[in-house]
A and B are shown apart, each in its own frame.
Chain A
Amino acid sequence: MTTAATTAATTTPIDRALIPIPFGRLVRTELRKLTDTRAGRWLLLTLVAATPIVALVMVFTMSTKDLNYAKFVDYTSTPEKLLLPILGILTMTSEWSQRTGLVTFVLEPKRGRVLLAKGVAALGLGIGVSILMLLVSVVGNVLGQSVRNGDGSWNFAGQVSGEVTLVLLSWLLLGIALGMALLITAAAILVAFVVPNMFSAFFGSGSKNTTAWFDLNQAQSPLYSHDITGKGWIQLLAASALWIGIPMLLGAMRVRRTEVK
Protein backbone atom coordinates (compact mmCIF):
# COMPACT_ATOMS: atom_id res chain seq x y z
CA MET A 1 0.00 0.00 0.00
CA THR A 2 2.79 2.33 0.91
CA THR A 3 4.62 1.38 -2.25
CA ALA A 4 1.64 2.25 -4.38
CA ALA A 5 1.26 5.57 -2.61
CA THR A 6 4.95 6.31 -3.07
CA THR A 7 4.81 5.59 -6.77
CA ALA A 8 1.73 7.71 -7.20
CA ALA A 9 3.32 10.56 -5.29
CA THR A 10 6.50 10.54 -7.28
CA THR A 11 5.57 9.91 -10.88
CA THR A 12 4.05 13.34 -11.41
CA PRO A 13 6.72 15.44 -9.72
CA ILE A 14 9.57 13.89 -11.70
CA ASP A 15 8.56 15.60 -14.96
CA ARG A 16 8.97 18.95 -13.29
CA ALA A 17 12.38 18.10 -11.91
CA LEU A 18 14.12 19.89 -14.73
CA ILE A 19 13.05 23.38 -13.73
CA PRO A 20 15.06 25.36 -11.19
CA ILE A 21 13.62 25.77 -7.71
CA PRO A 22 11.36 28.84 -8.01
CA PHE A 23 12.66 31.76 -5.97
CA GLY A 24 9.38 32.17 -4.13
CA ARG A 25 9.67 28.64 -2.85
CA LEU A 26 13.17 29.32 -1.56
CA VAL A 27 11.84 32.36 0.30
CA ARG A 28 8.98 30.37 1.80
CA THR A 29 11.40 27.68 2.94
CA GLU A 30 13.62 30.29 4.57
CA LEU A 31 10.62 31.91 6.26
CA ARG A 32 9.64 28.55 7.64
CA LYS A 33 13.18 27.96 8.93
CA LEU A 34 12.90 31.23 10.85
CA THR A 35 9.77 30.09 12.62
CA ASP A 36 10.14 26.34 13.19
CA THR A 37 12.69 26.35 16.01
CA ARG A 38 12.29 27.35 19.60
CA ALA A 39 14.85 30.14 19.32
CA GLY A 40 13.22 31.47 16.17
CA ARG A 41 9.74 31.41 17.65
CA TRP A 42 10.87 33.20 20.80
CA LEU A 43 12.62 35.88 18.83
CA LEU A 44 9.56 36.47 16.66
CA LEU A 45 7.26 36.44 19.65
CA THR A 46 9.45 39.04 21.35
CA LEU A 47 9.55 41.15 18.19
CA VAL A 48 5.77 41.09 17.97
CA ALA A 49 5.03 41.48 21.68
CA ALA A 50 7.56 44.20 22.47
CA THR A 51 5.76 47.12 20.83
CA PRO A 52 2.30 46.70 22.39
CA ILE A 53 3.87 46.25 25.81
CA VAL A 54 5.97 49.39 25.47
CA ALA A 55 2.97 51.34 24.12
CA LEU A 56 0.75 50.20 26.95
CA VAL A 57 3.30 51.21 29.56
CA MET A 58 3.61 54.59 27.85
CA VAL A 59 -0.14 55.20 27.82
CA PHE A 60 -0.29 54.83 31.57
CA THR A 61 3.00 56.27 32.77
CA MET A 62 4.06 59.02 30.40
CA SER A 63 3.30 62.63 31.14
CA THR A 64 0.27 63.64 29.09
CA LYS A 65 2.05 66.31 27.05
CA ASP A 66 4.44 63.64 25.70
CA LEU A 67 1.67 61.35 24.53
CA ASN A 68 1.99 61.98 20.80
CA TYR A 69 2.51 59.82 17.75
CA ALA A 70 6.20 60.66 17.25
CA LYS A 71 6.99 59.72 20.86
CA PHE A 72 5.14 56.43 20.54
CA VAL A 73 7.08 55.59 17.41
CA ASP A 74 10.34 56.61 19.04
CA TYR A 75 9.80 54.44 22.13
CA THR A 76 8.17 51.40 20.52
CA SER A 77 10.87 51.22 17.87
CA THR A 78 13.69 51.05 20.44
CA PRO A 79 13.36 47.34 21.30
CA GLU A 80 12.90 46.53 17.61
CA LYS A 81 16.10 48.32 16.77
CA LEU A 82 17.90 45.97 19.15
CA LEU A 83 16.10 42.81 18.10
CA LEU A 84 16.05 43.14 14.33
CA PRO A 85 19.83 42.84 13.90
CA ILE A 86 19.63 39.56 15.82
CA LEU A 87 16.96 38.32 13.44
CA GLY A 88 19.22 39.23 10.51
CA ILE A 89 22.22 37.55 12.06
CA LEU A 90 20.42 34.32 12.95
CA THR A 91 18.91 34.08 9.48
CA MET A 92 22.40 33.91 8.04
CA THR A 93 24.44 32.10 10.70
CA SER A 94 22.13 29.22 11.66
CA GLU A 95 23.02 27.41 8.45
CA TRP A 96 26.62 27.32 9.71
CA SER A 97 26.23 26.96 13.46
CA GLN A 98 23.93 23.97 13.00
CA ARG A 99 25.74 22.79 9.86
CA THR A 100 22.46 22.59 7.98
CA GLY A 101 24.24 24.27 5.08
CA LEU A 102 25.40 20.78 4.23
CA VAL A 103 21.80 20.04 3.25
CA THR A 104 20.65 23.46 2.05
CA PHE A 105 23.51 24.07 -0.37
CA VAL A 106 23.23 20.54 -1.72
CA LEU A 107 19.55 21.10 -2.51
CA GLU A 108 20.28 24.53 -4.01
CA PRO A 109 23.93 24.72 -5.09
CA LYS A 110 23.46 28.30 -6.32
CA ARG A 111 24.38 29.77 -2.97
CA GLY A 112 23.68 33.33 -4.07
CA ARG A 113 20.02 32.43 -4.52
CA VAL A 114 19.85 30.97 -1.03
CA LEU A 115 21.41 34.11 0.42
CA LEU A 116 18.98 36.30 -1.48
CA ALA A 117 16.04 34.19 -0.31
CA LYS A 118 17.24 34.51 3.27
CA GLY A 119 17.58 38.27 2.87
CA VAL A 120 14.10 38.59 1.38
CA ALA A 121 12.59 36.41 4.11
CA ALA A 122 14.22 38.41 6.92
CA LEU A 123 13.37 41.71 5.25
CA GLY A 124 9.77 40.59 4.86
CA LEU A 125 9.54 39.87 8.56
CA GLY A 126 11.29 43.17 9.31
CA ILE A 127 8.76 45.10 7.23
CA GLY A 128 5.93 43.26 8.96
CA VAL A 129 7.34 44.11 12.35
CA SER A 130 7.76 47.78 11.35
CA ILE A 131 4.19 48.04 10.12
CA LEU A 132 2.99 46.48 13.35
CA MET A 133 5.05 48.98 15.31
CA LEU A 134 3.48 51.89 13.42
CA LEU A 135 -0.02 50.52 13.90
CA VAL A 136 0.60 50.04 17.60
CA SER A 137 1.80 53.64 17.79
CA VAL A 138 -1.39 54.84 16.12
CA VAL A 139 -3.48 52.89 18.60
CA GLY A 140 -1.28 54.09 21.47
CA ASN A 141 -1.69 57.71 20.48
CA VAL A 142 -5.46 57.37 20.17
CA LEU A 143 -5.64 55.57 23.50
CA GLY A 144 -3.41 58.15 25.18
CA GLN A 145 -5.73 60.88 24.09
CA SER A 146 -8.97 59.16 25.00
CA VAL A 147 -7.88 57.47 28.23
CA ARG A 148 -5.52 60.04 29.69
CA ASN A 149 -6.47 63.07 27.68
CA GLY A 150 -2.92 63.15 26.31
CA ASP A 151 -1.54 65.49 23.69
CA GLY A 152 -2.41 63.10 20.84
CA SER A 153 -0.78 65.17 18.13
CA TRP A 154 0.12 63.66 14.75
CA ASN A 155 2.93 66.09 13.94
CA PHE A 156 5.39 64.74 11.41
CA ALA A 157 3.40 61.48 11.36
CA GLY A 158 4.21 60.54 7.77
CA GLN A 159 7.83 61.59 7.96
CA VAL A 160 8.39 59.90 11.32
CA SER A 161 6.89 56.65 10.07
CA GLY A 162 9.09 56.54 7.00
CA GLU A 163 12.25 57.54 8.79
CA VAL A 164 11.97 55.09 11.64
CA THR A 165 11.15 52.25 9.25
CA LEU A 166 14.28 53.13 7.34
CA VAL A 167 16.35 53.01 10.54
CA LEU A 168 14.88 49.68 11.60
CA LEU A 169 15.43 48.05 8.23
CA SER A 170 18.99 49.42 8.14
CA TRP A 171 19.78 47.67 11.40
CA LEU A 172 18.17 44.49 10.15
CA LEU A 173 20.32 44.70 7.03
CA LEU A 174 23.36 45.34 9.19
CA GLY A 175 22.62 42.09 11.02
CA ILE A 176 22.17 40.22 7.74
CA ALA A 177 25.44 41.62 6.42
CA LEU A 178 27.46 40.82 9.53
CA GLY A 179 25.91 37.37 9.77
CA MET A 180 27.02 36.62 6.22
CA ALA A 181 30.47 38.05 6.72
CA LEU A 182 31.23 36.35 10.04
CA LEU A 183 29.06 33.20 9.92
CA ILE A 184 29.33 32.85 13.70
CA THR A 185 26.35 34.06 15.73
CA ALA A 186 28.20 35.30 18.82
CA ALA A 187 30.85 37.13 16.81
CA ALA A 188 28.25 38.80 14.61
CA ILE A 189 26.14 39.90 17.60
CA LEU A 190 29.21 41.28 19.32
CA VAL A 191 30.28 43.22 16.28
CA ALA A 192 26.75 44.48 15.52
CA PHE A 193 26.21 45.89 18.99
CA VAL A 194 29.66 46.88 20.09
CA VAL A 195 31.59 48.12 17.09
CA PRO A 196 29.24 50.79 15.68
CA ASN A 197 28.63 52.16 19.18
CA MET A 198 32.31 52.08 20.08
CA PHE A 199 32.89 53.95 16.90
CA SER A 200 30.33 56.57 17.88
CA ALA A 201 31.82 56.90 21.36
CA PHE A 202 35.31 57.22 19.98
CA PHE A 203 34.46 59.80 17.36
CA GLY A 204 31.74 61.41 19.46
CA SER A 205 33.96 64.38 20.19
CA GLY A 206 34.60 64.99 16.50
CA SER A 207 32.57 67.38 14.45
CA LYS A 208 29.22 65.86 13.42
CA ASN A 209 29.81 67.23 10.02
CA THR A 210 32.70 64.90 9.36
CA THR A 211 31.93 61.89 11.56
CA ALA A 212 28.52 61.36 9.96
CA TRP A 213 30.29 60.17 6.85
CA PHE A 214 31.38 56.97 8.57
CA ASP A 215 29.52 56.83 11.90
CA LEU A 216 26.19 55.08 11.33
CA ASN A 217 24.56 56.34 14.55
CA GLN A 218 25.62 59.87 13.78
CA ALA A 219 24.45 59.63 10.19
CA GLN A 220 21.05 58.37 11.37
CA SER A 221 20.56 61.01 14.06
CA PRO A 222 18.98 63.63 11.74
CA LEU A 223 16.34 61.01 10.97
CA TYR A 224 15.31 61.17 14.61
CA SER A 225 15.31 64.96 14.72
CA HIS A 226 13.44 65.10 11.37
CA ASP A 227 15.82 67.66 9.88
CA ILE A 228 17.87 65.62 7.45
CA THR A 229 19.40 67.64 4.63
CA GLY A 230 20.53 66.65 1.15
CA LYS A 231 24.04 66.30 2.41
CA GLY A 232 22.71 64.32 5.36
CA TRP A 233 21.20 61.78 2.97
CA ILE A 234 24.50 61.41 1.19
CA GLN A 235 26.29 60.95 4.51
CA LEU A 236 23.71 58.35 5.53
CA LEU A 237 24.28 56.55 2.27
CA ALA A 238 28.05 56.60 2.80
CA ALA A 239 27.87 55.34 6.39
CA SER A 240 25.38 52.64 5.34
CA ALA A 241 27.64 51.54 2.53
CA LEU A 242 30.49 51.21 5.00
CA TRP A 243 28.58 49.32 7.70
CA ILE A 244 26.07 47.40 5.61
CA GLY A 245 27.19 47.38 1.98
CA ILE A 246 30.79 46.32 2.47
CA PRO A 247 30.17 43.50 4.98
CA MET A 248 27.35 42.28 2.76
CA LEU A 249 29.59 42.19 -0.27
CA LEU A 250 32.38 40.45 1.62
CA GLY A 251 29.86 38.06 3.14
CA ALA A 252 28.34 37.16 -0.22
CA MET A 253 31.78 36.49 -1.62
CA ARG A 254 32.72 34.43 1.40
CA VAL A 255 29.58 32.31 1.41
CA ARG A 256 29.84 31.60 -2.29
CA ARG A 257 33.43 30.48 -2.10
CA THR A 258 33.86 28.96 1.31
CA GLU A 259 33.89 25.23 1.84
CA VAL A 260 30.71 23.87 3.43
CA LYS A 261 31.41 21.04 5.83
Chain B
Amino acid sequence: MTTTAAIRVADLSKDYRGTRAVDSVSFDVPHGSITGFLGPNGAGKSTTLRMLVGLTEPTGGSATVLGRRYTELLNPGRRVGVLLDASAQHSGRTGLEILRLGAMMMGLPDRRAEEMIEKVGLSKAESRRRTGTYSLGMRQRLGVAHALLGDPKVLILDEPANGLDPAGIHWMRTLLKEFADDGGSVLLSSHLLHEIEVVADDLVVIGRGRIVARGSKNDLLAGSGVYVRSTDDEGLAAGMRAVGVGFTDHPDGGFTVGAEAEHIANIAAAAGITLRELRADDEAGLEQLFLRLTADDAREDVKS
Protein backbone atom coordinates (compact mmCIF):
# COMPACT_ATOMS: atom_id res chain seq x y z
CA MET B 1 0.00 0.00 0.00
CA THR B 2 1.37 3.38 -0.91
CA THR B 3 -0.36 5.32 1.82
CA THR B 4 2.04 7.10 4.10
CA ALA B 5 -0.08 7.35 7.23
CA ALA B 6 -1.88 4.72 9.29
CA ILE B 7 -4.66 7.20 9.99
CA ARG B 8 -5.43 10.23 7.89
CA VAL B 9 -8.01 12.75 9.03
CA ALA B 10 -8.82 15.31 6.38
CA ASP B 11 -10.92 18.37 7.12
CA LEU B 12 -13.39 16.59 9.37
CA SER B 13 -16.23 18.76 10.63
CA LYS B 14 -19.35 18.07 12.63
CA ASP B 15 -22.27 20.36 13.33
CA TYR B 16 -24.76 19.70 16.08
CA ARG B 17 -27.83 21.84 15.65
CA GLY B 18 -25.91 24.86 14.47
CA THR B 19 -22.95 24.53 16.80
CA ARG B 20 -19.73 23.31 15.31
CA ALA B 21 -18.37 20.57 17.58
CA VAL B 22 -15.51 19.72 15.22
CA ASP B 23 -14.16 22.27 12.79
CA SER B 24 -11.98 21.23 9.84
CA VAL B 25 -9.76 18.91 11.79
CA SER B 26 -6.86 17.40 9.84
CA PHE B 27 -3.95 15.30 10.99
CA ASP B 28 -2.04 12.13 10.21
CA VAL B 29 -0.97 9.31 12.45
CA PRO B 30 2.24 7.91 10.95
CA HIS B 31 2.92 4.18 10.92
CA GLY B 32 4.64 2.80 13.99
CA SER B 33 4.09 5.86 16.13
CA ILE B 34 1.88 7.10 18.92
CA THR B 35 -0.13 10.25 18.45
CA GLY B 36 -1.70 11.91 21.45
CA PHE B 37 -4.99 13.67 20.78
CA LEU B 38 -5.20 16.28 23.48
CA GLY B 39 -7.87 18.76 24.46
CA PRO B 40 -10.03 19.94 27.33
CA ASN B 41 -13.39 18.28 27.95
CA GLY B 42 -15.86 19.12 25.22
CA ALA B 43 -13.11 20.02 22.74
CA GLY B 44 -14.36 17.53 20.16
CA LYS B 45 -12.02 14.56 20.64
CA SER B 46 -14.68 11.88 21.00
CA THR B 47 -16.72 13.28 18.15
CA THR B 48 -13.66 13.19 15.90
CA LEU B 49 -12.88 9.60 16.86
CA ARG B 50 -16.49 8.52 16.33
CA MET B 51 -16.41 10.04 12.85
CA LEU B 52 -13.13 8.26 12.20
CA VAL B 53 -14.72 4.83 12.79
CA GLY B 54 -18.05 5.56 11.12
CA LEU B 55 -20.28 5.82 14.17
CA THR B 56 -21.01 9.48 13.52
CA GLU B 57 -21.65 10.83 10.05
CA PRO B 58 -19.35 13.84 9.46
CA THR B 59 -20.86 17.10 8.28
CA GLY B 60 -17.79 17.51 6.10
CA GLY B 61 -14.42 16.01 5.39
CA SER B 62 -13.27 12.42 5.44
CA ALA B 63 -10.94 10.05 7.18
CA THR B 64 -9.08 6.89 6.31
CA VAL B 65 -7.55 4.13 8.36
CA LEU B 66 -4.90 2.01 6.64
CA GLY B 67 -5.73 3.78 3.42
CA ARG B 68 -9.46 3.12 3.42
CA ARG B 69 -12.56 4.54 4.97
CA TYR B 70 -13.05 2.64 8.20
CA THR B 71 -16.54 1.52 7.17
CA GLU B 72 -15.09 -0.09 4.05
CA LEU B 73 -12.59 -2.23 5.92
CA LEU B 74 -13.55 -5.90 5.83
CA ASN B 75 -13.72 -7.37 9.30
CA PRO B 76 -12.18 -4.15 10.69
CA GLY B 77 -11.62 -5.58 14.15
CA ARG B 78 -8.79 -7.65 12.71
CA ARG B 79 -6.89 -4.60 11.60
CA VAL B 80 -7.99 -1.76 13.87
CA GLY B 81 -8.54 -2.00 17.61
CA VAL B 82 -11.04 0.54 18.92
CA LEU B 83 -11.97 1.58 22.44
CA LEU B 84 -14.34 4.51 22.54
CA ASP B 85 -16.04 4.15 25.91
CA ALA B 86 -15.04 1.51 28.41
CA SER B 87 -18.40 1.86 30.16
CA ALA B 88 -20.36 0.92 27.05
CA GLN B 89 -20.48 -2.77 27.93
CA HIS B 90 -23.43 -4.96 28.85
CA SER B 91 -23.47 -4.88 32.63
CA GLY B 92 -24.96 -8.38 32.78
CA ARG B 93 -22.21 -10.09 30.82
CA THR B 94 -18.93 -11.23 32.29
CA GLY B 95 -15.72 -9.70 31.02
CA LEU B 96 -14.74 -13.02 29.50
CA GLU B 97 -18.09 -13.40 27.74
CA ILE B 98 -17.74 -9.93 26.20
CA LEU B 99 -14.35 -10.87 24.80
CA ARG B 100 -15.68 -14.22 23.57
CA LEU B 101 -18.47 -12.45 21.72
CA GLY B 102 -15.92 -10.15 20.12
CA ALA B 103 -13.67 -13.07 19.21
CA MET B 104 -16.63 -14.96 17.76
CA MET B 105 -17.66 -12.03 15.61
CA MET B 106 -14.12 -11.54 14.32
CA GLY B 107 -13.69 -15.26 13.70
CA LEU B 108 -11.03 -15.87 16.33
CA PRO B 109 -10.65 -18.90 18.58
CA ASP B 110 -12.15 -18.66 22.07
CA ARG B 111 -8.78 -18.95 23.74
CA ARG B 112 -7.81 -15.58 22.28
CA ALA B 113 -10.26 -14.08 24.79
CA GLU B 114 -8.51 -15.75 27.72
CA GLU B 115 -5.11 -14.64 26.43
CA MET B 116 -6.19 -11.03 26.24
CA ILE B 117 -7.65 -11.17 29.76
CA GLU B 118 -4.22 -12.29 30.91
CA LYS B 119 -2.44 -9.67 28.83
CA VAL B 120 -4.30 -6.77 30.40
CA GLY B 121 -3.77 -8.06 33.92
CA LEU B 122 -7.31 -9.04 34.86
CA SER B 123 -7.48 -12.14 37.03
CA LYS B 124 -9.34 -15.26 36.03
CA ALA B 125 -11.87 -14.65 38.80
CA GLU B 126 -12.40 -11.03 37.72
CA SER B 127 -12.96 -12.09 34.15
CA ARG B 128 -15.83 -14.29 35.29
CA ARG B 129 -17.63 -11.49 37.09
CA ARG B 130 -20.35 -9.39 35.50
CA THR B 131 -18.97 -6.09 34.28
CA GLY B 132 -21.62 -4.28 36.29
CA THR B 133 -19.38 -4.93 39.28
CA TYR B 134 -16.19 -3.62 37.58
CA SER B 135 -14.39 -0.44 38.56
CA LEU B 136 -13.69 2.06 35.80
CA GLY B 137 -10.06 0.95 35.79
CA MET B 138 -11.08 -2.68 35.23
CA ARG B 139 -13.41 -1.63 32.44
CA GLN B 140 -10.57 0.23 30.77
CA ARG B 141 -8.43 -2.90 30.96
CA LEU B 142 -11.25 -4.98 29.51
CA GLY B 143 -11.76 -2.38 26.78
CA VAL B 144 -8.08 -2.51 25.88
CA ALA B 145 -8.25 -6.31 25.86
CA HIS B 146 -11.17 -6.05 23.44
CA ALA B 147 -9.29 -3.62 21.24
CA LEU B 148 -6.32 -6.01 21.09
CA LEU B 149 -8.41 -9.14 20.37
CA GLY B 150 -8.04 -9.09 16.61
CA ASP B 151 -4.25 -8.48 16.72
CA PRO B 152 -4.72 -5.08 15.03
CA LYS B 153 -2.11 -2.89 13.38
CA VAL B 154 -3.78 0.31 14.54
CA LEU B 155 -5.25 1.29 17.89
CA ILE B 156 -7.80 4.06 18.41
CA LEU B 157 -8.41 4.73 22.09
CA ASP B 158 -10.58 7.45 23.61
CA GLU B 159 -9.36 8.48 27.07
CA PRO B 160 -8.09 5.00 27.93
CA ALA B 161 -6.23 6.28 31.00
CA ASN B 162 -9.43 7.58 32.59
CA GLY B 163 -10.01 5.83 35.89
CA LEU B 164 -6.64 4.10 35.94
CA ASP B 165 -4.44 4.46 39.01
CA PRO B 166 -0.80 5.51 38.54
CA ALA B 167 0.28 1.89 38.24
CA GLY B 168 -2.43 1.37 35.66
CA ILE B 169 -1.30 4.40 33.68
CA HIS B 170 2.25 3.09 33.75
CA TRP B 171 1.03 -0.28 32.53
CA MET B 172 -0.91 1.35 29.70
CA ARG B 173 2.15 3.35 28.61
CA THR B 174 4.31 0.26 28.51
CA LEU B 175 1.70 -1.63 26.53
CA LEU B 176 1.29 1.13 23.96
CA LYS B 177 5.07 1.60 23.62
CA GLU B 178 5.47 -2.12 22.93
CA PHE B 179 2.63 -2.01 20.46
CA ALA B 180 4.27 0.86 18.56
CA ASP B 181 7.72 -0.75 18.76
CA ASP B 182 6.22 -3.75 16.97
CA GLY B 183 5.20 -1.42 14.15
CA GLY B 184 1.69 -0.63 15.37
CA SER B 185 0.19 2.84 15.19
CA VAL B 186 -1.74 4.42 18.03
CA LEU B 187 -4.11 7.34 18.30
CA LEU B 188 -5.12 8.00 21.87
CA SER B 189 -6.96 10.91 23.37
CA SER B 190 -6.74 12.55 26.75
CA HIS B 191 -7.78 15.71 28.47
CA LEU B 192 -4.65 15.60 30.62
CA LEU B 193 -1.32 16.54 29.11
CA HIS B 194 0.74 14.59 31.63
CA GLU B 195 -1.14 11.38 30.83
CA ILE B 196 0.18 11.23 27.31
CA GLU B 197 3.22 13.45 27.12
CA VAL B 198 5.47 10.58 28.19
CA VAL B 199 4.20 8.10 25.66
CA ALA B 200 3.27 10.15 22.59
CA ASP B 201 5.62 10.78 19.66
CA ASP B 202 3.33 13.37 18.13
CA LEU B 203 0.65 15.56 19.57
CA VAL B 204 -2.51 17.01 18.11
CA VAL B 205 -4.06 19.60 20.39
CA ILE B 206 -7.70 20.51 19.91
CA GLY B 207 -9.74 23.25 21.55
CA ARG B 208 -13.39 24.01 20.77
CA GLY B 209 -13.36 21.81 17.72
CA ARG B 210 -10.29 23.38 16.13
CA ILE B 211 -6.75 22.15 16.04
CA VAL B 212 -4.60 24.63 17.90
CA ALA B 213 -1.31 22.78 17.86
CA ARG B 214 0.12 19.86 16.01
CA GLY B 215 3.58 18.46 15.63
CA SER B 216 6.18 16.29 17.23
CA LYS B 217 6.00 16.25 20.97
CA ASN B 218 9.60 17.38 21.30
CA ASP B 219 9.00 20.45 19.16
CA LEU B 220 5.82 21.32 20.95
CA LEU B 221 7.28 20.83 24.39
CA ALA B 222 10.49 22.67 23.53
CA GLY B 223 9.05 25.72 25.20
CA SER B 224 11.30 28.35 23.66
CA GLY B 225 9.31 28.77 20.48
CA VAL B 226 9.43 31.48 17.88
CA TYR B 227 6.57 33.86 17.23
CA VAL B 228 5.92 34.59 13.59
CA ARG B 229 3.39 36.69 11.75
CA SER B 230 3.25 37.20 8.01
CA THR B 231 1.30 38.71 5.14
CA ASP B 232 -0.05 35.26 4.30
CA ASP B 233 -0.42 33.17 7.43
CA GLU B 234 -2.34 30.43 5.63
CA GLY B 235 0.39 30.01 3.07
CA LEU B 236 2.99 30.02 5.79
CA ALA B 237 1.07 27.35 7.70
CA ALA B 238 0.94 25.19 4.59
CA GLY B 239 4.66 25.66 4.06
CA MET B 240 5.52 24.70 7.62
CA ARG B 241 3.21 21.71 7.51
CA ALA B 242 4.84 20.54 4.29
CA VAL B 243 8.26 20.32 5.94
CA GLY B 244 6.90 18.95 9.20
CA VAL B 245 7.51 21.95 11.43
CA GLY B 246 5.25 21.97 14.51
CA PHE B 247 3.37 25.16 15.25
CA THR B 248 0.35 26.48 17.09
CA ASP B 249 -2.06 29.30 16.34
CA HIS B 250 -1.28 32.34 18.40
CA PRO B 251 -4.28 34.05 20.02
CA ASP B 252 -3.21 37.42 18.55
CA GLY B 253 -2.83 35.99 15.05
CA GLY B 254 0.28 34.42 13.60
CA PHE B 255 1.89 31.30 15.01
CA THR B 256 4.14 30.03 17.69
CA VAL B 257 6.59 27.73 15.98
CA GLY B 258 8.86 25.05 17.39
CA ALA B 259 11.81 25.71 15.07
CA GLU B 260 14.78 28.03 14.55
CA ALA B 261 13.97 31.55 13.35
CA GLU B 262 16.22 31.08 10.34
CA HIS B 263 14.40 27.90 9.31
CA ILE B 264 11.07 29.72 9.43
CA ALA B 265 12.42 32.63 7.42
CA ASN B 266 13.62 30.18 4.78
CA ILE B 267 10.22 28.50 4.57
CA ALA B 268 8.56 31.89 4.13
CA ALA B 269 11.09 32.98 1.53
CA ALA B 270 10.65 29.76 -0.45
CA ALA B 271 6.90 30.38 -0.51
CA GLY B 272 7.34 34.05 -1.38
CA ILE B 273 5.72 35.17 1.83
CA THR B 274 6.76 38.37 3.61
CA LEU B 275 7.22 38.17 7.36
CA ARG B 276 5.83 40.91 9.55
CA GLU B 277 7.25 39.70 12.82
CA LEU B 278 9.73 37.02 13.87
CA ARG B 279 10.91 36.84 17.47
CA ALA B 280 11.46 34.53 20.41
CA ASP B 281 8.27 33.69 22.32
CA ASP B 282 8.70 32.65 25.92
CA GLU B 283 5.01 31.93 26.42
CA ALA B 284 5.15 29.24 23.79
CA GLY B 285 5.23 26.07 25.86
CA LEU B 286 2.60 23.44 25.31
CA GLU B 287 1.82 23.58 29.00
CA GLN B 288 0.94 27.27 28.69
CA LEU B 289 -1.05 26.68 25.55
CA PHE B 290 -3.00 23.95 27.24
CA LEU B 291 -3.60 25.98 30.36
CA ARG B 292 -4.80 28.85 28.20
CA LEU B 293 -7.21 26.53 26.36
CA THR B 294 -8.62 25.10 29.55
CA ALA B 295 -8.86 28.52 31.17
CA ASP B 296 -10.70 29.90 28.13
CA ASP B 297 -13.23 27.14 28.39
CA ALA B 298 -13.59 27.62 32.13
CA ARG B 299 -14.30 31.33 31.57
CA GLU B 300 -16.81 30.45 28.90
CA ASP B 301 -18.57 28.11 31.31
CA VAL B 302 -18.84 30.82 33.94
CA LYS B 303 -20.35 33.20 31.41
CA SER B 304 -22.95 30.80 30.09
Instruction: Tell me the A residues contacting B by CB distance below 8 Å.
Output: 2, 5-6, 9-10, 13-14, 16-22, 25-26, 28-29, 32-33, 36-39, 94, 98-110, 257, 259-261
Interface residue B244 (Cβ < 8 Å from any Cβ of A): no
| Contact for A9 among B75, B85, B111, B118, CB less than 8 A | B111
5 contacts between A and B (CB under 8 A): A2-B115, A9-B111, A20-B74, A21-B107, A103-B89
Say whether, besides A6-B119, A102-B84, A102-B85, A17 and B75 are in contact (CB < 8 Å): yes
B81 closest partner in A (C-beta): A106
Contacts of B82 in A (CB 8 A): 106
| Contact for B54 among A5, A16, A25, A109, CB less than 8 A | A109
| Contact for B74 among A9, A10, A19, CB less than 8 A | A19
Minimum CB–CB distance for B103 against chain A, Å: 10
- Give 1 or 0 for each of B63-82: 1 = CB within 8 Å of chain A CB: 00000001101111111001
Contacts of B85 in A (CB 8 A): 99, 102, 261
| Contact for B151 among A13, A25, A37, CB less than 8 A | A13
- Give residues 73-112 of B contacting A (CB, 8 Å): 73-79, 82, 84-85, 87-93, 97, 101-102, 104-109, 111-112
Say whether, besides A2-B118, A26-B105, A38 and B92 are in contact (CB < 8 Å): yes
Question: Is there an interface contact between A107 and B77, defined as CB atoms closer than 8 Å?
Answer: yes
Contacts of A37 in B (CB 8 A): 90, 92-93
Most chain A C-beta atoms within 10 Å of own C-beta, residue among B53, B87, B97, B151 = B151
Q: How large is the interface on B (under 10, 10 to 19, 20 to 34, 35 or more residues)?
A: 35 or more
CA gap between A38 and B118 in the complex, in Å: 26
Interface residue B57 (Cβ < 8 Å from any Cβ of A): yes
Minimum CB–CB distance for B128 against chain A, Å: 13
Contacts of A102 in B (CB 8 A): 55, 84-85, 88
Contacts of A36 in B (CB 8 A): 93, 97, 101
Contacts of B109 in A (CB 8 A): 9
Interface residue B173 (Cβ < 8 Å from any Cβ of A): no
Question: Is there an interface contact between B74 and A261, defined as CB atoms closer than 8 Å?
Answer: no
Closest CB pairs A-B (n = 9): A17-B78, A99-B88, A10-B151, A109-B71, A102-B88, A37-B92, A260-B55, A98-B90, A107-B77
Contacts of A2 in B (CB 8 A): 115, 118-119
CA gap between A118 and B79 in the complex, in Å: 24
B14 closest partner in A (C-beta): A259
Contacts of A19 in B (CB 8 A): 74-75
Contacts of A16 in B (CB 8 A): 107
Interface residue B146 (Cβ < 8 Å from any Cβ of A): yes
CA gap between A83 and B90 in the complex, in Å: 22
Interface residue B56 (Cβ < 8 Å from any Cβ of A): yes
CA gap between A39 and B73 in the complex, in Å: 34
Question: Is there an interface contact between A5 and B76, defined as CB atoms closer than 8 Å?
Answer: no
CA gap between A10 and B153 in the complex, in Å: 12
CA gap between A257 and B58 in the complex, in Å: 11
Question: Is there an interface contact between A103 and B102, defined as CB atoms closer than 8 Å?
Answer: yes
Question: Is there an interface contact between A259 and B56, defined as CB atoms closer than 8 Å?
Answer: yes
CA gap between A200 and B92 in the complex, in Å: 38
CA gap between A229 and B112 in the complex, in Å: 57
Contacts of B76 in A (CB 8 A): 106-107, 109
Say whether, besides A36-B101, A260-B55, A14 and B151 are in contact (CB < 8 Å): yes
CA gap between A211 and B112 in the complex, in Å: 57
Interface residue B50 (Cβ < 8 Å from any Cβ of A): yes
Most chain A C-beta atoms within 10 Å of own C-beta, residue among B79, B91, B92 = B92
Contacts of A98 in B (CB 8 A): 88-92
Question: Is there an interface contact between B88 and A100, defined as CB atoms closer than 8 Å?
Answer: yes
Question: Is there an interface contact between B112 and A9, defined as CB atoms closer than 8 Å?
Answer: yes
Minimum CB–CB distance for B109 against chain A, Å: 6
A102 closest partner in B (C-beta): B88
| Contact for A106 among B84, B89, B91, CB less than 8 A | B84
Say whether, besides A259-B50, A261-B50, A32 and B106 are in contact (CB < 8 Å): no
Contacts of B104 in A (CB 8 A): 25, 28-29, 32
CA gap between A26 and B101 in the complex, in Å: 10
Contacts of B93 in A (CB 8 A): 36-37
